[in-house]
Amino acid sequence: MKKPSIIIALILCLSSLLPGRAAWAADKEIALDYEDIAARVERYNSTVRIGKLSLSEANNALDAAKQANRDRREQRESVDAAIGETQEMIASGTLDETQLKEAQSLLSTLGQLSDSLRSQNTSQLERTIEAVTLQNSQSLAQLVNGAQQQFIRAWQLRLNMDQQQNKLAQAEAVVKKAQIKLIHGLGTAVALAEAKLQVSSVKTELTAMEHQWQSMLTQLGNYTGYKQGEIVSLGEAPQLEEEVLAELDPLEDADEAVAANFALKLLRIDRINANSTSAKRKIDIQIEQQEATVRQNIKQKYDVLLEAQAKLELAEAELAQAARQLNTAQTNFKLGKISQSALDKVKDACAAKEASMQNAALTLILELGDYQAKVGGLN
């Protein structure tokens, strides 16, 4: 895969560049950093914790079964010793008829007791533990991937909120100009009303974004174990791992994904537990279908990555063009060839292209993370 431009890593250091961040940041915040997500999910997420408790219970049951088997073995050894002594007494020929009947009855009872003290098979419990362990690992991987994707989407929303703040400032400036024109008889009340309506529309959209922002922060808090009502703010956006992107090989990755796929591993456990040849054959068909699905998913996700990379390259080219136009506009402004408002429009257009490029970079990072999650075992 072709490596994207190195400027991405620089432009993605956004937290210090964003204007208006305080517009939706709380006075008291708990900052969530991207690199801390995996550890927090593993330690604090309620689903993960419940899974660990289930695994602990299964392990305790296995330990109890093994201890019971050890106790049975000790008891059986004592019973078997008594059986041997009784057999020797019977074989000695020294017992009268009554004693012989009692010894034979005792021997039968001891034999039944010895059979009842045979060790129980713990293989089913062991396979249950293996399945629960796999399910826990799958759940953890899904939750970490979900939280990381939510983090990136929240960052994209934050960029869009910045753009919306800029739109609001522009709309409010138009209102002020319309008011001045109306005062001097150069404008109309209709133009002023339309400008105010535009401000109201932009504010409505911004309010909806702010509600969505709070919802996403709450969801991130749920993923990472923050209590209800605690506020989560975002640390810096993740940076694109160019070396990882360049080394992707969909064919090799498909093989790795098949070997790591949690669903396939669980199907293989089911096959071991199956009681009939017919049941095993049905599971074999499921395994074959799942392997084909895994390989197809890797191919499709790789194609999505290529598309995301192409969109990023286009956004970079558009940003470079906008930057050149801004440079020209600044020169013309200094020469008195264009007005301040014309220069501001070019600046706004360049800022919009920069936000589009940043969004495209984050989308590529998001798709790369999802691809790596599939290679790591997720469907």
pLDDT, one tens digit per residue, over 226-241 is 877 676 788 999 988 8
pLDDT, one tens digit per residue, over 312-359 is 999 999 999 999 999 999 999 999 999 998 999 999 999 999 999 999
pLDDT for the residue numbered 231: 67
Give the mean model confidence (pLDDT) for residues 109-117.
77
At 372, the pLDDT band (50, 70, 90 cuts) reads: very high
Asked whether the predicted pLDDT for residue 85 surpasses 80, the reply is yes
Residue 248 inside a domain? The answer is yes
Domain that residue 340 falls in: 244-379
Give the mean model confidence (pLDDT) for residues 190-214.
95
In angstroms, what CA-CA distances link 377 with 174, 292, 295, 370? Answer: 54, 14, 12, 11
pLDDT for the residue numbered 29: 60
pLDDT for the residue numbered 13: 38
Residue 48 inside a domain? The answer is no
Whole-model pTM: value is 0.79
What φ, ψ does residue 210 adopt, rounded to 5°? -65, -40
Asked whether the predicted pLDDT for residue 131 surpasses 50, the reply is yes
> For residue 368, which of 286, 296, 284, 304 has the smallest C-alpha distance?
304
Total structural domains in the chain?
Answer: 2
pLDDT, one tens digit per residue, over 7-17 is 343 333 333 33
Residue with tokens 């799942």: 290
Domain boundary among 116, 146, 179: 116
Give the mean model confidence (pLDDT) for residues 281-308.
97
pLDDT for the residue numbered 331: 94
Residue 193 inside a domain? The answer is no
Give the mean model confidence (pLDDT) for residues 252-280.
94
> How many percent of the chain have pLDDT more than 70?
91
Asked whether the predicted pLDDT for residue 33 surpasses 80, the reply is yes
Give the 3-state secondary structure of the chain: CCCCCCHHHHHCCCCCCCCCHHHCCCCCCEEECHHHHHHHHHHHCHHHHHHHHHHHHHHHHHHHHHHHHHHHHHHHHHHHHHHHHHHHHHHHCCCCHHHHHHHHHHHHHHHHHHHHCCCCCCHHHHHHHHHHHHHHHHHHHHHHHHHHHHHHHHHHHHHHHHHHHHHHHHHHHHHHHHHHHHHCCCCCHHHHHHHHHHHHHHHHHHHHHHHHHHHHHHHHHHHHCCCCCCCEEECCCCCCCHHHHHCCCHHHHHHHHHHHCHHHHHHHHHHHHCCCHHHHHHHHHHHHHHHHHHHHHHHHHHHHHHHHHHHHHHHHHHHHHHHHHHHHHHHHHHCCCCCHHHHHHHHHHHHHHHHHHHHHHHHHHHHHHHHHHHHCCCC
Residue 18 inside a domain? The answer is no
